[in-house]
């Protein structure tokens, strides 16, 4: 065995406290999908050191390089990726709810279940549809749109259905739930061609329930904002603060709280909703 390598058996969320060099580790690399940033990963990192972590943001995994500045981690680079999820004490159970006889499953990937009252009745009503006006080629990258929806839309969740479902036309869809209603994002092919790049698809919002049109409009606004302000800009700025950091000490941006930290996402061209000064809690999304 290479003498420069030390294997330690234990809970990865605790880092390697008995092996931290003077001043901290220069880098910490996590090789599983994490839903939170363990305090030990930051605390055992040297000032200016880098943490590379595949972070689950609303069910979408992105490998993010973070640099330590005091007690705050600042995002430097994002990469689309996929890893096995965390286990043990750091693992998060995703709340779910089954609707329509189990055909539709709602998943709250940010950790806090929403209110499903009225959704069974809503799904028996006629579906409302709204075009976003965004038409894209067959091969098209919208990975930042997924993260934007997860970090800015109150009531955000994911819907999963079996192939061929008539209730939800997207097998795994980003959605929002509120007021006994739901709306989800889908894309529909509107023209074909000999090559994938020749095909065209349109982003649309499907909705159910009395508040469906309002939720659809909210989601469509998110898509249009992304197309106008973010599509060519890449991922947002990100700062990760310790849990319990007062709201007035956080920078402007969209806030996602987890048990161990407060993540602030700074999306280009977006003005987040005002943040209550007393805001606390396990998992929240503050935005409009």
- Maximum average pLDDT range among 32-36, 118-122, 168-172: 118-122
**Higher-confidence position of 28 and 193:** 28
**Higher-confidence position of 214 and 171:** 214
In degrees, to the nearest 5, what angle opens at C-alpha 115 toward C-alphas 114 and 117? Answer: 155
Same domain as 113, residue 84 = no
Residue 278 has pLDDT above 60, yes or no: no
Question: Angle between the 143-152 and 212-225 helix axes, to the nearest 10 degrees?
Answer: 130
Residue 54 has pLDDT above 80, yes or no: yes
- Cβ atoms of residues 49 and 27 within 8 Å: yes
Pair type for strands 45-57 and 25-29: parallel
Please give the pLDDT value at position 281. 41
Residue 143 has pLDDT above 80, yes or no: yes
Decide if 224 is inside a domain.
yes
Decide if 1 is inside a domain.
no
Please give the pLDDT value at position 275. 67
Mean pLDDT of 238-256: 96
pLDDT digits 0-9 by tens, 38-50: 999 999 999 999 9
Q: Is the dihedral of CA 235, 267, 41, 38 positive or negative?
A: negative
Decide if 48 is inside a domain.
yes
pLDDT digits 0-9 by tens, 203-244: 999 999 999 999 999 999 999 999 999 998 889 999 999 999
**Higher-confidence position of 210 and 136:** 210
Token couple for 76? 């430097």
**Higher-confidence position of 264 and 140:** 264
At 68 the three-state DSSP class reads: strand
Same domain as 223, residue 106 = yes
Decide if 196 is inside a domain.
yes
Same domain as 241, residue 220 = no
Same domain as 260, residue 239 = yes
Please give the pLDDT value at position 276. 62
Residue 119 has pLDDT above 70, yes or no: yes
Same domain as 109, residue 66 = no
Residue 141 has pLDDT above 90, yes or no: no
Please give the pLDDT value at position 285. 43
Decide if 221 is inside a domain.
yes
CA distance 137 to 29: 36
Residue 28 has pLDDT above 90, yes or no: yes
Same domain as 194, residue 165 = yes
Calculate what percentage of the chain has a pLDDT beyond 90: 70
Residue at which a domain ends, from 214, 230, 246: 230
Residue at which a domain ends, from 182, 197, 230: 230
Please give the pLDDT value at position 270. 82
Same domain as 113, residue 162 = yes
Please give the pLDDT value at position 162. 95
Residue 125 has pLDDT above 90, yes or no: yes
Decide if 7 is inside a domain.
no
Same domain as 178, residue 108 = yes
Decide if 244 is inside a domain.
yes
Least confident of 86-90, 121-125, 168-172, 246-250: 86-90
Count how many domains the chain has: 2
Same domain as 106, residue 223 = yes
Same domain as 108, residue 85 = no
Q: What's the mean pLDDT when you consider all of the chain?
A: 90
Residue range of the domain that includes 165: 96-230
Same domain as 240, residue 262 = yes
Decide if 34 is inside a domain.
yes
Same domain as 199, residue 151 = yes
């Amino acid at each position: 065995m290479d003498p420069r390598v030390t294997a330690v058996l234990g809970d990865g969320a605790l880092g390697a406290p008995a092996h931290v060099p003077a001043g901290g580790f220069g880098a910490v690399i996590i090789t599983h999908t994490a839903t939170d940033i363990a305090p030990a990963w930051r605390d055992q990192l040297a000032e200016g050191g880098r943490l590379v972590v595949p972070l689950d943001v609303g069910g979408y995994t992105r490998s993010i390089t973070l640099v330590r500045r005091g007690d705050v981690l600042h995002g430097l680079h994002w990469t689309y990726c996929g890893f096995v999820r965390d286990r043990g004490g750091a693992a998060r159970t995703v709340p779910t709810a089954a609707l329509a006889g189990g055909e539709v499953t709602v998943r709250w990937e940010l950790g806090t279940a929403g209110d499903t009252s009225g959704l069974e009745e809503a799904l028996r009503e006629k579906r409302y549809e709204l075009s976003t006006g965004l038409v894209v080629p067959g091969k098209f990258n919208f990975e930042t749109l997924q993260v934007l929806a997860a970090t800015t839309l109150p009531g955000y969740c994911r819907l999963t259905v079996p192939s061929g479902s008539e209730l939800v036309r997207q097998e795994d869809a980003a959605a929002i739930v509120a007021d006994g209603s739901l709306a989800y994002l889908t894309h529909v092919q509107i023209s074909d061609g000999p090559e994938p790049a020749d095909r065209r698809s349109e982003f649309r919002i499907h909705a159910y329930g009395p508040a469906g049109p309002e939720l659809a409009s909210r989601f469509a606004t998110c898509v249009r904002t992304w197309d106008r302000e973010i599509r060519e800009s890449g991922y947002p700025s990100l700062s990760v603060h310790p849990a319990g950091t007062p709201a007035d000490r956080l920078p402007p941006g969209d806030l996602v709280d987890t048990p161990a930290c407060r993540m602030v996402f700074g999306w280009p061209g977006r003005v987040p909703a005002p943040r209550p000064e007393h805001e606390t809690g396990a998992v929240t999304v503050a935005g409009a």
